[in-house]
Amino acid sequence: MAQSTWHHPQSVAQTLKLLNTYAGQCVVVGGATTLALRKDKLPPHIIDLSAANLSFVRVAPASTLIGSMTRMADMSPKALPGVGGAFLAEVAAHVATTPLRNMITLGGNVAQCYAWSEMPLALLAMDATVHLRSLSSRRRIKATKFFSQSSSRIIRDGEIITQIEYPNYEAGQAAFGYEQIRRTVTDYPLLSVAVFLTQDKGIITSSHIVVGSIKTRPVLVTQPSGMMLDKAIDDIDIDLLSAKAAKDLIISSDPRASTGYKQEMVTVLCRRALSTALAGLAK
Ligand SMILES: Cc1cc2nc3c(=O)[nH]c(=O)nc-3n(C[C@H](O)[C@H](O)[C@H](O)COP(=O)(O)OP(=O)(O)OC[C@H]3O[C@@H](n4cnc5c(N)ncnc54)[C@H](O)[C@@H]3O)c2cc1C
């Protein structure tokens, strides 16, 4: 059986050159946790990003940049500043199991967005930005656009995700809630709900509710989110919004649970996540 050649580039520039040299005959890997699941034959060249200097956290005045090779296990609230950092750390802590969190990378979780993938929910809820690079271009794509279609349509040949950027908010300016259910601790999530809210002087200035594991990609639930805008925190009717969030969702069939059950559980998880986020704002 023909074996693939593994490459371990030491920088992004070297990675991009290799991608160019082996165009059409290679795949990049982050944590490489999806390699074993590939049904097709492995390509002749595998480009491992582990040594490409893409594991970092850089804090700028308005935003924080996280390298795409940052692993779930490294995404602790200590490592990631602000409310957005705490949100990402909370979601990362739910992903898979400890051994897998030591392997799975932020870039891999984003690039291969399965129905159950969890980091995309937090990135959508915060309106984060995905940075991509190829030999000839640098692109920044908002999460709402990035996750609106299959990543194979967004990420071009010869391009990699280099970093993810999220806005910096201090406690009191923003808050989040994250809820999910799975059948066992090692199962993929059956359902996940992420909520991210911002406020100014007690008035909601932005609100995003994202539901995962109901379709091939996470769903940003626009209508009830919009209903919170410009409202006082104390005036938010959590029960009404949670019921509305679930009402019009189209839920794909899942052999693990009926769509009716999942619909009901969206309301429940949404209520919990919204309550947590609103309580966080009120602190
Ligand atoms: C048993 C099991 C349970 C799991 N449970 C969960 C769970 O509960 N929640 C959850 O969110 N995830 C879960 N996962 C993880 C998820 O399914 C993927 O395996 C994981 O997100 C892939 O990350 P990775 O770093 O290993 O990517 P890789 O396997 O290295 O790559 C995945 C894909 O992304 C591409 N890619 C990787 N990095 C980049 C980059 N920087 N730029 C461009 N393309 C890139 C690769 O070419 C490949 O196509 C689980 C995985 C397993 C095996």
Query: Residue 158, SS3?
Result: coil
Asked whether the beta carbons of 72 and 101 are under 8 A apart, the reply is yes
One-letter amino acid at 136 equals S
Q: Whole-prediction pTM value?
A: 0.96
Quick one: residue 172, left, alpha or beta (phi over 0 = left, psi -120 to 50 = alpha)? left
Give the CATH class of 57-167. alpha beta
| Ligand 1 site, residue 146, Cβ cutoff 6 A | no
Taking the C-alpha atoms of residue 258 and residue 195, their distance in angstroms, rounded to an integer, is: 24
Write b or e for each residue in 110-133: b if 16 or more Cβ atoms lie within 10 A of its Cβ, otherwise e: bbebeebbbbbbbbbbbbbbbbbb
Rg (CA), the chain: 19
Query: Residue 154, SS3?
Result: helix
| Ligand 1 site, residue 68, Cβ cutoff 6 A | yes
Which DSSP string do the residues of 46-86 spell out, in sequence order? EEEGGGSS---EEE-SSEEEEETT-BGGG--TTTS-HHHHH
Residues in the chain with pLDDT values less than 70? 1-2
Asked whether the beta carbons of 56 and 66 are under 8 A apart, the reply is yes
| 26-29 and 45-48 beta bridge pairing | parallel
What is the whole-number distance in angstroms between the Cα of residue 212 and the centre of ligand 1?
16
What is the whole-number distance in angstroms between the Cα of residue 112 and the centre of ligand 1?
6
Give the CATH class of 5-51. alpha beta
| Ligand 1 site, residue 192, Cβ cutoff 6 A | no
Using one digit for the tens of pLDDT, what is the confidence trace for 135-150? 999 999 999 999 999 9
**Domain layout of the chain by residue ranges:** 5-51, 57-167, 174-282
Taking the C-alpha atoms of residue 35 and residue 138, their distance in angstroms, rounded to an integer, is: 27
Taking the C-alpha atoms of residue 9 and residue 259, their distance in angstroms, rounded to an integer, is: 45
Which atom of ligand 1 is nearest to 162's Cα? 41
| Ligand 1 site, residue 92, Cβ cutoff 6 A | no
* pLDDT of 247: 87
| Ligand 1 site, residue 189, Cβ cutoff 6 A | yes
Kindly give, in sequence order, each residue whose CB lies less than 8 Å from that of residue 64, ignoring residues fewer than 6 positions away.
Answer: 57, 58, 80, 81, 82, 84, 85, 165, 166, 168
* pLDDT of 39: 74
* pLDDT of 2: 65
What is the whole-number distance in angstroms between the Cα of residue 282 and the centre of ligand 1?
36
| Ligand 1 site, residue 33, Cβ cutoff 6 A | yes
Q: Does domain 174-282 have CATH number 3.40.50.300?
A: no
Which DSSP string do the residues of 270-283 spell out, in sequence order? HHHHHHHHHHHHH-
